[in-house]
Structure 1
Amino acid sequence: MGLFLRNIFLSFTLARLSHGQNCPLLGPAYPAVTDPVSSPALNAAKAAFDEALAQALSSGQLDNSTTSFSIQVFSPQAEEPIYEYYHTPTVSTNSSRSARPAQVGPGTLYRIGSISKLVTVYTILSSLSDRYWDEPVTKYVPEPEAAGRGPAGNAIDHVQWSEVTLGALASQMSGIGRDYSFGDVSAMFPSGLPGLPTLDESEIVQCGTAAAGVRACTREESMAMMLERWPVLPAYHSPIYSNMAFQILAYAVENITGQNFASLVEDELLKPLGLTRTFLSTPANDSDAVVVDGWTEDLGDEAPAGAYIQSVADLSEIGRSILNSSLVSAQATRKWLKPISHTSSPLVSVGRPWEILRLRVPVERSSNTTRTVDVYSKNGGIGQYLSLLGLSPDHNIGISLLVAGPSAGSVYSALQTLVTTTWLVAGEHAAREQARVNFAGNYTLPDNSSAEITLLPDEPGMFLASLLSNGTNMFEAVGGVVGGELGAEFGAWLYPTTLTDGNRTAFRAVYGALGQPADELCASWGAVDGLRYGGHPADLFVFEVGEDGRATALEVPILKKTLRRRD
């Protein structure tokens, strides 16, 4: 064998051995659960979650007297929620602005706060796709250039608006400030504060939000204040949370489409998804609503950043639609469900406008071995309302959580942790148990060719334990080619690519040896498709599945063979 080819084999094999066995590719460890309603793991999670909720309510960990909450766990594979729970407080608060329905249910309305940003971005993707993300905002919003803020200039005192793109606004990468009015206490202390200089009347905030005790701003007023704000960072330097970014983004989209943004949301999102319990401003006299502090707050043109009102059922329908790619293409969804930037935390990244949590999920019950799962979430908060939409593309499940009341903060914190840990773990175990039934087993041909697929304790993915072709042990053959011994514990972990063709579904393998320590760098992605024979990849395996989802055969392209599953 030539030196070059020998080095390819060596680098391929030794790289895999050096990574150890627990080095999966990013993405799902198993195919998504196709029948979540009948999954034993998910049904066990329902019982466990009900028990945990009952204990938390009875112990006082969750305020059961004045705070409402609604929970749904959903999947695009099921029309009804996998799980749902609605809590109606036992008493009303003393506030004259408070009210609640006789029974909180799936249609009960809450304010969703900054989840409105997700509604805004989804509307843009469904109507315009992502083709405008790299366009400068100055192309569609005239005020910066009209005020002389278009070209680059004093970068410390003025935002360089020509560098701010629509995509930067949507991903919290614009570098502009959080708000133009909210957070400015001058309206509450017009006479000044001790130690601070006296303000001119023109410097005192006259409009913004009800929380500041002032009316909503007109476009002219809000844009004037935005253009006077100091920049925080250059665009695309680091994530900086901004509410006003989404108001500017909506102005740009109105210019592009020639349509009022609220009407665009109605036409492109609410009507196609049948969302009858979603409102872009406070509905009048709706009896099925949790009304607490913040219900009537008017954000004016900043509504696309945080003003929307929704039921948990409608919120789940949005999540189900995203996972199912019902309004945008599957390719566009995959692109959307990817990070734009890291944060300073290794556990959190950001997208448009996702807050992406990187969680370690046990690979099976009571296992100390975990793998990284990315949860694409958006949180919201306004007044006494807190909200969460979380999507796990790996498991094809989502979580909707709406909380409202005086104790919303503590209730939300406890429920967020409980919901995430319970249902992500259950999703992983449900997919694993389905993979065992649908794919594990022996695949053979009469010419003494065979493959054994199994699932190993405390290991993610399915494991190719042996591969024979015409009686030749292919793992030993590779060891002979590279001049070494791979040993009996050598094999391959199979991970779904989600590439399908009719009844065929493709997996890629990560080769390695059992008992090797995991590598924190986990560079298995760098060796995918690294070894081929006559153009046929050594790490491609394609299952043929029946209508019931169970594999009937295993194609091994490098062997030019299709092995039949033996019951």
Structure 2
Amino acid sequence: MRQSAGVCTLWVLLTLVSIVTATCRYHSPAFPPPDYSKGSPELDEAFRKIETAISEITSQAKFNKSSYSIEVTSSKSTLWSSFHTATDKDSERPGAAEVNGSSAYRIASITKVFTVLGILQQHAAGNLSLDHSIDRYVSELNGHQSGDLPWKDITLRSLASQLSGIPRDWAQGDLVNDLEDPSIFGLPPITAPHLPKCDSYGKYVPCTKDEMLETIRTKAPLFAPNYKSTYSNIAFELLGLVLSNVTGLRYEDYIQQSILDTVGMNHTSFDKPSDEVAVLPKNISWYWDIDEGVQNPTGGLYATSSDLSTFLRYVLTHFNGITPALDWLNPVSFATSVYSHYGTPWEIFRTDKVLSGSDRPVTFVTKGGGLPGYRTIIIVVPEFELGITILTGGDGDLLDPLREIVSVSLIQAADKLVKRQIEETYTGLYETSHINSSLGLSYTEDQGLEITTWLSNGTDMLSVIPMQFQLPRESFRLQLVPTLLYRDQKHLYGELWRMALIWDNSPSEKLVTQEEPVWDDFCTTDVDTMMYAGKPLNELAFLDKSGDGRYKTVDLTAFRVTLTREAEGQFQHDMLVTQEL
């Protein structure tokens, strides 16, 4: 028995140490999504600053021919919008007289998101599988080819997530169409009768399915499938063919019926809108009229900012429920940057530079697009339940400063709103009268919601845990992590959180002498730790929400105790005294 008990104690020790010796924190989302329905002075101030900063940018002479539409939406409604009409327009074809939320742009590669959504819908319906190879749905790829693309190894999933390894383009991006004198680049003069006779090779005549298939069957891969990310437009043109073959509809008709009409995007289409609503940048508006033909699935949509806000609301509320095959906003592969990843088909950026005074990262799930005269981007920030649309027509340099100004200021303000709402909803002292048990919760921008005092049957848990396992008390913390689940999921009652045990090593405790050990950045997630009598040891549930949004009780699952929240103010006062000492 002693040996058994010793083994058990060692196992528990190793389990806890494996958690708490990590130098990293449990990062976002470390809070439930904020509630934007009650108004927010934090956001109001941010939007005023954003408008001022944007006005300074657009007042520059280089942007006289440029227009933009910007919208910010929550999962429920548009929170803010801003529009700018170019002051220098083509007198013969000016386009929309005044840019607003109903003004149309070519959104270019944002179209890929709609193509992938169609594929996910058909996977959920059982009409195709993401893990089947492309040649199962495009039979022409089974025939003879002079190239050596391994179609039987290229799945729909790899195509949708930029992991197919196939080339980028087949009818665009060829310098033979753009250089009057190839010798400038050291290139020899050449005639190429074997090239396609459409798109940039043929005065922008729309390309057909047969022309595309004939050309790509001559291509070689860049990488083996699923080896390395590389951006491919061809991948999404093939997915468009899959949708057409599986549904029996034209690709454009399927997207219109199953997504645009269903979501309520009434001003988005593959058909060219009238000039009355068109954003037509001076001197570079020619691409507005181009029919992309078989290349529509990679970049053919026209859309408005208001419609894209509607779509982002759909994404924010459905991204994890479209199909059990994946969470749509998760990354699937690395891009070239440490902070950048590819999704399906998203471009995902994760940075810790947004929230000043904190190393908590923010994840921006984006899809950008570019065509002559147009640069566009949609951004989803899932932990804050926010979506951003930025559409520009004119100088392509305008989008980058707009993205920086809007996204950074917005998230900083939303984080302030989070702090206020969490303090109002959760923080305070919870206790019970019949046993000596209490729980004190506080929130800071850097640490999130954490347990700052905890008595269980008279035991000071924040002292006994580090003492038992020889951990420094001053760097030991219990951070709370929302699960976004409930004990009663049907009635959304009993909001479930987990405790994450964190031990932040101080510089003096480093085992190596270098200032920033390399492996300090290596962190894995392990939130579910141990049980007590079959119940999770680190689970708690907030219960009994009052009319003002404050939780009145908290239940510690494994400890079989429910604690009641003290009147507002008492705990805050006590905490201030403690901090002063």
TM-score by length of 2: 0.87
Identity %: 26
- 1:559 aligned counterpart, secondary structure: coil
- 1:279 aligned counterpart, secondary structure: coil
The match for 1:295 is 288
Residues 1:118 and 2:113 aligned together: yes
Q: How does 1:340-359 map to 2 (within 5 A)?
A: 340-359=332-351
Instruction: After superposition, give the CA deviation of every residue in 1:344-395 in whole Å (9 maximum; x if it has no partner).
Output: 21111001100001121555xxx43221222110000011100000001111
The match for 2:32 is 31
Q: Is the 8 A contact 1:107 1:288 kept in 2?
A: yes
Q: Is the 8 A contact 2:348 2:366 kept in 1?
A: yes
Q: Is the 8 A contact 1:175 1:238 kept in 2?
A: yes
The match for 2:479 is 493
- 1:52 aligned counterpart, secondary structure: helix
| Structure 1 Cα separation of the partners of residues 90 and 252 of structure 2 | 33
| Structure 2 Cα separation of the partners of residues 169 and 14 of structure 1 | 42
The match for 1:477 is 464
**Structure 2: any 5+ residue segments left out of the alignment?**
508-515, 568-581
The match for 2:385 is 396
Q: How does 1:116-515 map to 2 (within 5 A)?
A: 116-129=111-124, 132-148=129-145, 157-187=147-177, 199=190, 202-209=193-200, 213-283=203-273, 285-292=274-281, 293=285, 294-325=287-318, 329=321, 332=324, 335-363=327-355, 367-405=356-394, 407=395, 409-446=396-433, 447-456=435-444, 458-479=445-466, 481-482=468-469, 484=470, 487=473, 490-500=476-486, 501=489, 502-513=492-503
| Structure 1 Cα separation of the partners of residues 362 and 268 of structure 2 | 30
Q: Is the 8 A contact 1:166 1:249 kept in 2?
A: yes
Q: Is the 8 A contact 1:24 1:524 kept in 2?
A: no
1:485–1:53 distance in 2 versus 1, CA, 3 Å = closer
The match for 2:88 is 91
* C-alpha deviation, 1:396, in angstroms: 0.5
Which amino acid is the alignment partner of residue 561 of structure 1?
A: V
Instruction: After superposition, give the CA deviation of every residue in 1:391-411 in whole Å (9 maximum; x if it has no partner).
Output: 011111010000001x2x211
The match for 1:152 is none
Instruction: After superposition, give the CA deviation of every residue in 1:44-91 in whole Å (9 maximum; x if it has no partner).
Output: 211221221223334x2x8552100010010113x2x21110001222
Which amino acid is the alignment partner of residue 295 of structure 2?
A: E
Q: Is the 8 A contact 1:453 1:463 kept in 2?
A: yes
| Structure 2 Cα separation of the partners of residues 188 and 24 of structure 1 | 51
- 1:349 aligned counterpart, secondary structure: strand
Q: Is the 8 A contact 1:494 1:508 kept in 2?
A: yes
- 1:19 aligned counterpart, secondary structure: coil
How many equivalent residue pairs?
Answer: 541
* C-alpha deviation, 1:545, in angstroms: 4.7
Instruction: After superposition, give the CA deviation of every residue in 1:6-34 in whole Å (9 maximum; x if it has no partner).
Output: 223323443444334x5114x41211012
**Structure 1: any 5+ residue segments left out of the alignment?**
150-156
Which amino acid is the alignment partner of residue 9 of structure 1?
A: V
* C-alpha deviation, 1:200, in angstroms: 5.7
TM-score by length of 1: 0.89
Residues 1:5 and 2:8 aligned together: yes
Across the aligned residues of Structure 1 and Structure 2, the Cα RMSD in angstroms comes to: 2.6
| Structure 2 Cα separation of the partners of residues 118 and 509 of structure 1 | 36
The match for 1:562 is 562
* C-alpha deviation, 1:203, in angstroms: 2.1
- 2:108 aligned counterpart, secondary structure: coil
Instruction: After superposition, give the CA deviation of every residue in 1:301-321 in whole Å (9 maximum; x if it has no partner).
Output: 101101110000111111110
| Structure 2 Cα separation of the partners of residues 319 and 539 of structure 1 | 35
| Structure 1 Cα separation of the partners of residues 223 and 475 of structure 2 | 52
* C-alpha deviation, 1:221, in angstroms: 1.2
| Structure 1 Cα separation of the partners of residues 392 and 95 of structure 2 | 12
- 1:336 aligned counterpart, secondary structure: coil
| Structure 1 Cα separation of the partners of residues 259 and 216 of structure 2 | 29
